[in-house]
């Protein structure tokens, strides 16, 4: 699996301009920086309240085989999914927009379309997990996390940073177990604000990119 993952990363880096979306650093306004700070705090809090820290500590109490299994699954999910969706699919969407000569609102179109594709991927879990409700909830919060990861992707101009963040979020003892079912009220309360803030920030940055005429790397 490691070899396949390395080949996947190499090929997508080659296609996706060595991971760069823009040719220069993006200028952020104070409100945009404030929202980013809020999203970073949100990510850390979400990591804590989701039980990731406790689950990671519990993982190291398991057998070496279990630790290796969970680590490889988290690595595979983090790197494969990020290089596929925030790498190749971002690049592909850029090409499609260029093909139809769409120059406005490109970032929000790319972000929402790739996040929808990322969340839809999780529908495959309907054939694996017994609870369809848990899968539908996963699809919803995968869309929110997809937007958040896309923001990290744009800010860092790198897929690697996002892949590591995704890996750390998945790296826990429960990754190979069944999906938990939560009340929809908890899911909405946790992820709906994230989705709204992320979309507001992406729309705002889209306008900045158009006003400053920031040039995308050629897809």
Task: Tell me the three-class secondary structure of 133-172, residue by residue.
Answer: HHHHHHHHHHHHHHHHHHHHHHHHCCCHHHHHHHHHHHCC
Q: What is the mean pLDDT of residues 17-43?
A: 90
Nearest to 159 by CA among 94, 92, 82, 216: 82
Q: What is the mean pLDDT of residues 83-90?
A: 95
Q: What is the mean pLDDT of residues 49-76?
A: 91
109-132 pLDDT tens trace: 999 999 999 999 999 999 988 789
157-188 pLDDT tens trace: 999 999 999 999 999 988 888 888 999 999 99
pLDDT of the residue at 1: 63
Whole-angstrom Cα distance, residue 134 to residue 179? Answer: 6
Is the pLDDT at 22 greater than 80? The verdict is yes
pLDDT of the residue at 122: 95
Average pLDDT, the chain: 92
CB burial readout 174-208, b (16+ within 10 A) else e: bbeeebeeeeeeebeebbeebbebbeebbebbbee
**Do 13 and 19 contact (CB within 8 A), yes or no?**
yes
Q: What is the mean pLDDT of residues 68-86?
A: 94
Helices 52-59 and 64-75 cross at an angle (nearest 10°) of 140
**Do 119 and 139 contact (CB within 8 A), yes or no?**
yes
């Amino acid at each position: 699996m490691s070899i396949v993952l390395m080949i996947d990363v190499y090929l997508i880096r080659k296609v996706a301009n060595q991971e760069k979306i823009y040719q220069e650093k993006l200028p952020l306004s104070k409100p945009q920086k404030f929202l980013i700070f809020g999203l970073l705090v949100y990510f850390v809090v979400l990591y804590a309240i989701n039980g990731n820290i406790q689950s990671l500590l519990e993982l190291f109490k398991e057998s070496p085989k279990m630790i290796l299994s969970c680590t490889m699954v988290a690595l595979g999910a983090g790197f494969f999914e990020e290089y596929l969706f925030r790498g190749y699919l971002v690049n592909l969407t850029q090409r499609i927009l260029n093909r139809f000569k769409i120059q406005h609102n490109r970032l929000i179109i790319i972000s929402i379309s790739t996040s929808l594709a990322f969340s839809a991927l999780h529908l495959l879990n309907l054939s694996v997990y017994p609870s369809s409700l848990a899968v539908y909830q996963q699809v919803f919060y995968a869309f929110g996390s997809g937007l958040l990861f896309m923001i990290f992707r744009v800010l860092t101009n790198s897929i690697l940073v996002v892949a590591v963040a995704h890996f750390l979020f998945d790296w826990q003892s429960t990754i190979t177990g069944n999906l938990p079912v939560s009340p929809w009220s908890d899911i909405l309360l946790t992820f709906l604000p994230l989705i709204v803030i992320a979309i507001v920030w992406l729309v705002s940055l889209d306008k900045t990119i158009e006003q400053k005429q920031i040039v995308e790397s050629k897809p």
